[in-house]
A and B are shown apart, each in its own frame.
Chain A
């Protein structure tokens, strides 16, 4: 069977399709390598960073980061090196400029507007609250105080004694 042949071949030669990884640098620099590696996308994987990927191509790219870190290149220079080669696609965390600001500010805007609406709502009803009629109406709408919450409130009051 060809598969058996293939495996025996593999066992003889091993599986290391491209180059072996460099050994880690000293702790401080290696931490930087890993931090940078987390931000760079592995070209052959599914959205995984080169720091996380076991793929040989990612290991090679991580070695490149090690090389650049040993040369004391700055973060910007290292990112620039990869962007020049692979385009902005290589950055797992998109830049903040231009159209990309929608990505960063959109959720914040949604959260902010939502909070404003909620606060406005409660302000509005706070103004309406003193009117006895609405208060009575609200009283009538809510069920008799038989719920467990009333029970809980009672329990809490008892606890304080």
Chain B
């Protein structure tokens, strides 16, 4: 029953999507605009069928209807209800089905937003998006069909992948990532539609930018939550391993970020057109390549729990899209000629151009590094690894360059800059950046212990510095520089209003910010990114690690903290059993915090997997985390081996999420149309197009 209904809805969705694609593209190219309502209706039909099919799947999962193939793969009566719902995206077929629902949601939102006012590209844009939707609906109906019927259903199933049941973050991380991935279809559709139509006014740029920011935000959140999940669950004390799947989500993020910046140059200078559109198309292509990497199992990775043979279908789709994009840019390239030239690199547009180059170089590095093992295996029949050391070596200088540009860019005016003014502006943030190094050096020197008991001299300290220390120092200096510049750009207009219009600080701040929402929101996001970069630098350069086997009552010292082993306990939950090593963490001031049972580092035993899955204990604090993971234990001897770390500032990677959300929402918030026109002061700046 569920199978028939669910599969019927998928077929219906496929039909609607194909209809919308064909009608949208054909009538769009022949410019018969009266067909648009039919395309819109078909899009609504697609969205409704896909969302309903997902609801039927959730119902089947909750009913433990093991006659449905997908439920028989991931369902289990022992799984808690919340994880039963979540198992909708815990394996390949379900996640593609879920993908269809998100695609439906996006198409519905986009069509409804512009149902009254829209450019003439709308029909073609909807057609292109519906074509992508057709592909995914085809995948669900054919190669990745979750609705197969099990002839003799068993009374219980294996439950979802244990790794995915281990943490609540798994409930929100995948949907965020999917919202980011799928959402890139919309800017792709807008750009491709406008190019196909061949009318490139300004009308399509605002929707293009807004509908890129939405998936950009979800992608950012998804990536950060994914790293948080890895940190809180996998127990090796890291959050980012340059795993192919992490790279797959990072690449479209990089190109979309580059797009969000270059679109400013496009709108203001009418240049970088081809480049900006290529970034919009490229971000979409990279999400599809990313999906392929995640879902096809080409790479051996943590995420390849969703392996299947959809690879060839995907490869064909990628090829079609690539050819389509290249043709589109070749045939319509003449419409994308720049109307102005770059005057000097030392300008806002120059800094954005360099920023774009760095982002693309990093994207290329990540793509090259991820695909290179496949290339050598194909060409030389040799297996090689491209891992963390390579990516860190390459990404670190590029990242520092980005950080530097984040400070320099906002400081530079559009067009030519006056060198004298520039020097004056640079003085305070630059000086503060360099001053930051002083406390860092003093603090590092105080914390430094000479090896093999030598005398503590400053010369010895300098020669013992690792490159990581130096890089972290530079990062802190640049971070201060960027923060000062950003805050100055945020508050300076308010200060001026206060002194000129005698407004209170709050009024001045709010009105100056709401006049330039895009730029103001962008700066808030910049602050969040600085927080993330500093947290990454501090937690990797200044982490302290220790490991030892402890008897009950013994203590392991890690930095200023002590980890005392209090004995083993075991426990039982419906879907797993566990053995925990109870510990007491002693802080620098002697304060004690006990971690018992479910709150202690554990080994979890799931029926589905032979090896236990560890879960670390993370004592989160504002400025540092204490992280203890249980490596081995011996019940007879009552001993346990621990890995313990102290990670300074690491939590700021995830604490920065609200800043990213806030900044993006400020940027996206619609500008009131008649703002300030009645006031007698200067003519109202058009913040939607006139400012950064």
Chain A residues with a Cβ under 8 A of chain B:
3-4, 6-8, 10-17, 20-21, 23-24, 26-28, 31, 38-39, 41, 46-49, 52-54, 56, 59, 87-94, 99-100, 102-103, 106-107, 110-111, 114-115, 118-119, 121-122, 124-126, 128-129, 138, 141-144, 146-149, 151-156, 158, 160
Contact B242 A47, beta carbon cutoff 8 Å = yes
Contact B605 A7, beta carbon cutoff 8 Å = yes
- The answer, among A46, A111, A143, A155, for a CB contact under 8 Å with B492, is A155
Contact B413 A49, beta carbon cutoff 8 Å = no
Contact A128 B579, beta carbon cutoff 8 Å = no
Residues facing A in B662-692 (CB within 8 A) are 682-687, 689-692
Chain A residues, CB < 8 A from B684: 146
Given A99-B376, A141-B340, A155-B493, 18 more A-B residue pairs with CB atoms under 8 Å apart are A7-B577, A10-B612, A20-B641, A28-B451, A49-B388, A52-B236, A91-B385, A94-B386, A99-B375, A103-B386, A107-B364, A115-B357, A118-B350, A144-B683, A146-B684, A148-B519, A149-B348, A149-B692
Smallest CB–CB gap between A87 and chain B, Å?
Answer: 6
> Complex: how many Å from CA A126 to CA B343?
6
Contact A46 B301, beta carbon cutoff 8 Å = yes
Chain A residues, CB < 8 A from B300: 46
> Complex: how many Å from CA A126 to CA B288?
41
Chain B residues with a Cβ under 8 A of chain A:
235-238, 241-244, 268-270, 300-302, 339-345, 348, 350, 353-354, 357-358, 360-362, 364-365, 368-369, 372, 375-376, 379-380, 382-390, 393-394, 413-415, 421, 424-425, 451-452, 489, 492-493, 495-496, 515-516, 519, 547-549, 568, 570, 572, 577-579, 603, 605, 607, 611-612, 614, 629, 631-637, 639, 641, 643, 682-687, 689-692
Chain A residues, CB < 8 A from B357: 111, 114-115, 118
Contact A111 B361, beta carbon cutoff 8 Å = yes
Smallest CB–CB gap between A4 and chain B, Å?
Answer: 7
Given A26-B452, A106-B368, A114-B361 in contact, is the A13-B685 Cβ separation under 8 Å? Answer: no
Smallest CB–CB gap between A153 and chain B, Å?
Answer: 6
Contact B384 A3, beta carbon cutoff 8 Å = no
Chain A residues, CB < 8 A from B341: 121-122, 124-125, 128
Chain A residues, CB < 8 A from B375: 99
Contact A92 B387, beta carbon cutoff 8 Å = yes
Chain A residues, CB < 8 A from B235: 54
Contact A111 B358, beta carbon cutoff 8 Å = yes
Chain A residues, CB < 8 A from B244: 47
> Complex: how many Å from CA A156 to CA B452?
55
- The answer, among A102, A107, A122, A148, for a CB contact under 8 Å with B394, is A107
- The answer, among B358, B579, B635, B683, for a CB contact under 8 Å with A146, is B683
- The answer, among B344, B415, B635, B691, for a CB contact under 8 Å with A14, is B635
Smallest CB–CB gap between A54 and chain B, Å?
Answer: 5
Contact A15 B687, beta carbon cutoff 8 Å = no
Contact A48 B241, beta carbon cutoff 8 Å = yes
Smallest CB–CB gap between B394 and chain A, Å?
Answer: 6
Contact B451 A110, beta carbon cutoff 8 Å = no
Contact B384 A13, beta carbon cutoff 8 Å = no
Contact B343 A129, beta carbon cutoff 8 Å = yes
Chain A residues, CB < 8 A from B641: 16, 20-21
Smallest CB–CB gap between B226 and chain A, Å?
Answer: 13
Chain A residues, CB < 8 A from B413: 149, 152-153
Chain A residues, CB < 8 A from B691: 147-149
Chain B residues, CB < 8 A from A151: 493, 496, 685
Chain A residues, CB < 8 A from B350: 118, 122
